[in-house]
Amino acid sequence: MKSTFAGLDLGADEFATQVQTSLARVEDLLLSELSSGDEILTEAATHLAKAGGKRFRPMFAILSSHFGPDPENNDVITSATVIEMTHLATLYHDDVMDEAPLRRGAQSANARWSNSVAILAGDFLFARASHLVSTLGPDAVRIIADTFAELVTGQMRETVGAQGRDPVEHYLRVVWEKTGSLIASAGRFGAMSAGADSERAATLQRLGDIIGTAFQVSDDVIDIASVTGDSGKTPGTDLREGVHTLPVIYALQGDGPDSVRLRELLVDADTGAARPLTDDAEVTEALHLLVASDGMVAARAKLQEMADEANGLLATLPAGDANNAFASLVRYTVERIG
């Protein structure tokens, strides 16, 4: 019997049980740490943790630990919890910036309480993550501090826009900073905490870079391609929000009639800024143009390039259940786009 988790095939029962037991320990430590503050903070601070989620990042750390000699080390659980706590903190702040009413199917903290409460809850999570990571030593503190900086830089870079820089390079940089950097740290933390050497930890860090970025690119493709299939997603969400993702950026760079029409639909003629689409007919037209565009071909090719690099890294790591699980994740990241 096999176990599948968030696109990961965990293989046979024994390994799957071991990984899921570790993940349950992360969950326990996460809720314990977030409930340890003043009562006035507890409900808001645990709000998103109790709402669930895939726990993809701590899972990445746990799998990475199996490339070290001591995957049962308590520091693996601590480091995986730090990563998830950091991720949750960013969600509180993201929801305030996006004025999001929902998160993980539940009312967002900013909608339930206020922007101020949501921001302070996110700050509290960052504080608890910093406290917890301090138990792992100075190297771990430095790594998470660098990751904090990358997360903030990515958000700032996205907010101010490309400002004349190459739009593809800008977009991929933002995705790496906002998504890939934390998954990269999960890989490095998991390996380090299990006693892996620096070279192996660096390989798993790079694997996290690639998979984190690739997963976002595959989401970009799905947001457009779902107009022709049943993905369970509402197509064109990014277009309605005026967000130009990788397939759109590539398509807008073309010089054919479809690219010209897409520029008319998606770019403000006066300012050159992204134009949110509010008309359903325009959304439908843009989606159909994008599905058949060279931009989609280029985005899919970029995703395959990332998958090939990830598989190349996995080939340098020891074979086994953890390697197989990561390989299944790479396959899933490509295959999910159809």
Domain count, the chain: 2
Contact criterion met (CB below 8 Å) for 41 and 128: no
Q: How many CA atoms lie within 13 A of 125 on its CB side?
A: 28
Residues 323 and 279 in one domain: yes
Residue 247 domain flag: yes
Percent of the chain with pLDDT over 70: 94
Residues 306 and 207 in one domain: yes
Residues 230 and 155 in one domain: no
Work out the pLDDT band at 233, boundaries 50, 70, 90: low
Residue 306 domain flag: yes
Residue 275 domain flag: yes
Q: Length of the chain, please?
A: 338
pLDDT value of position 231: 44
Residues 226 and 305 in one domain: yes
Work out the pLDDT band at 1, boundaries 50, 70, 90: very low
Residue 116 domain flag: yes
End-to-end CA distance of the chain: 26
User: What average pLDDT does the segment 172-199 reach?
Assistant: 96
Q: How many CA atoms lie within 13 A of 31 on its CB side?
A: 11
Residues 336 and 207 in one domain: yes
pLDDT value of position 84: 96
Query: Could you write out the three-class secondary structure of the chain?
Result: CCCEECCEECCCHHHHHHHHHHHHHHHHHHHHHHCCCCHHHHHHHHHHHHCCCCCHHHHHHHHHHCCCCCCCCHHHHHHHHHHHHHHHHHHHHHHHHHCCCEECCEECHHHHCCHHHHHHHHHHHHHHHHHHHHHHCHHHHHHHHHHHHHHHHHHHHHHHCCCCCCHHHHHHHHHHHHHHHHHHHHHHHHHHHCCCCHHHHHHHHHHHHHHHHHHHHHHHHHHHHHHHCCCCCCCCHHHHCCCCCHHHHHHHCCCCHHHHHHHHHHECCCCCCECCCCCHHHHHHHHHHHHCCHHHHHHHHHHHHHHHHHHHHHHCCCCCHHHHHHHHHHHHHHHCCC
Residues 109 and 224 in one domain: no
d(CA 30, CA 23): 10
User: What average pLDDT does the segment 56-73 reach?
Assistant: 96
**Is residue 322's pLDDT more than 90?**
yes
**Is residue 26's pLDDT more than 70?**
yes
d(CA 180, CA 76): 20
Residue 6 domain flag: no
User: What average pLDDT does the segment 46-70 reach?
Assistant: 91
Work out the pLDDT band at 198, boundaries 50, 70, 90: very high
pLDDT value of position 4: 58
Q: pTM for the complete prediction?
A: 0.92
Residues 121 and 264 in one domain: no
Q: Which two tokens stand for residue 326?
A: 């990561």
Residue 104 domain flag: yes
Which residue range(s) make up the domain with 225?
A: 197-338
Contact criterion met (CB below 8 Å) for 267 and 252: yes
The angle subtended at Cα 79 by Cα 122 and Cα 140, nearest 5°, is: 90
Residues 218 and 332 in one domain: yes
pLDDT value of position 40: 81
Choose among 252, 231, 181: nearest CA to 211. 181
Residues 153 and 70 in one domain: yes
Q: pLDDT for 127-173, tens place per residue?
A: 999 999 999 999 999 999 999 999 999 999 998 888 889 999 999 99
Residue 45 domain flag: yes
pLDDT value of position 95: 78
Residues 67 and 117 in one domain: yes
pLDDT value of position 289: 96
Residues 20 and 96 in one domain: yes
**Is residue 2's pLDDT more than 60?**
no
CATH no. for residue 223? 1.10.600.10
Work out the pLDDT band at 8, boundaries 50, 70, 90: confident
User: What average pLDDT does the segment 169-182 reach?
Assistant: 95
**Is residue 33's pLDDT more than 80?**
yes
Residues 215 and 89 in one domain: no
